[in-house]
Amino acid sequence: MNNKLALIVAVVLGILSIVGINMYIQKIKQDSIRGEELVDVYVASKRVAAGSVIEESFVAVKQIPSKFVRSLRGSQIKKREAIVNSTALIDIEENQIIQSYHVDADFKVGQGLDFKSTYRAITIKVDAVSGIAGMLRPGDWVDVIGCFELQGFGVGGVKIPQITSVLMRQIKVLATDQQTDPNSKSAQFAYRTVTLRVNPEQVTKVAHAQMFGKIFLAKVQDSALKDRNSYPMTADRLLKESEQELQKYQKQK
């Protein structure tokens, strides 16, 4: 009996300690927001995946202290109609405050790629530099430039040579991220991928260049003249050309 009584007392004391801790935490929370005005904000009632259209039932109202709202620096959305039927640009977690950079009313996820069976579609990673500062749109034309370190053994302190060359010319952009509509009103300034339309023999070239080198895109006009030159550039060639220009300059002086 003594053992059972001791066990019961231990359980009761454990429960009381948990209740006491919860009451203490709640008191701290109440003290921290005491005197603060509560403000309505729109939150996600459930997790919303990027690319999903936000339905009415996905949006709920929650009250939080005004000081937390001020920390958002005006990024919270104040009108429900600005959220409903818009597209989530990133994943929005349940109870997360919906902010202006989370959704876009004009953005439409691409319905798939449309190209002839004689072509292939391949996607490459880009950043602000290699992706032309976010100014590409589906339907644009680009040259694909590759930068590589030629594999070899450095003997006697000789550096591994590097080379930059035009890999392909006038390649059509099919999509930026998932945006395939060239007439979309939504400007994507922060896309992370670009999908290109290439010939079957160019697929492996792009894949290899992306795996073992660095790819840059150069925007061109559709009416640009075809040019088969690859204009390879190496450090030695660049230095030699610079020396030649310097010699010309010195002679002119």
Percent of the chain with pLDDT strictly greater than 70: 75
Residue 155 to residues 150, 152, 160, 239, Cα–Cα distance (Å): 14, 9, 9, 21
Question: Nearest 5 degrees, angle CA 138-CA 144-CA 145?
Answer: 145
Look at residue 20 in the predicted model and tell me its pLDDT: 60
Per the CB < 8 A criterion, the answer to whether 51 and 178 are in contact is: yes
- 19 confidence band (pLDDT: 50, 70, 90): low
Tell me what the mean pLDDT of segment 209-219 comes to: 91
H or E segment and range at residue 193: strand 193-198
User: Does residue 32 surpass a pLDDT of 60?
Assistant: no
Q: What does R_g of the chain's alpha carbons equal in angstroms?
A: 30
Tell me: pLDDT of 110 over 70. no
* Average of per-residue pLDDT across 4-15: 53
Neighbours of 83 (CB within 10 A): 22
DSSP 112: -
If we measure between CA atoms, which residue out of 95, 109, 100 comes closest to residue 52? 109
Which tokens in the block code for residue 12?
A: 């009761």
Q: Return the pLDDT at 219.
A: 92
CB-CB contact of 154 with 121 (8 Å): no
Neighbours of 105 (CB within 10 A): 14
Write out the two tokens for 51.
């690319």
**Nearest-angstrom CA–CA distance, 178 and 191:** 9
**Token output for 124:** 């490459």
Which residue intervals of the chain bear CATH 3.90.1210.10?
A: 38-104
Residue 222 has pLDDT above 90, yes or no: no
Could you give the C-alpha distances from 94 to 39, 49, 58, in angstroms and in order?
A: 19, 11, 9
**172 vs 1, residue with greater confidence:** 172
3-state secondary structure of 64: strand
Mean pLDDT rounded to a whole number for the chain: 79
Question: What's residue 238's pLDDT?
Answer: 75
- The CATH number corresponding to 38-104 among 2.60.40.10, 3.40.50.720, 3.90.1210.10, 2.40.37.10 equals 3.90.1210.10
Say what the pLDDT of residue 204 is.
92
Report, as an integer, the average pLDDT of 210-223: 87
Q: Are 83 and 55 in contact (CB under 8 A)?
A: no
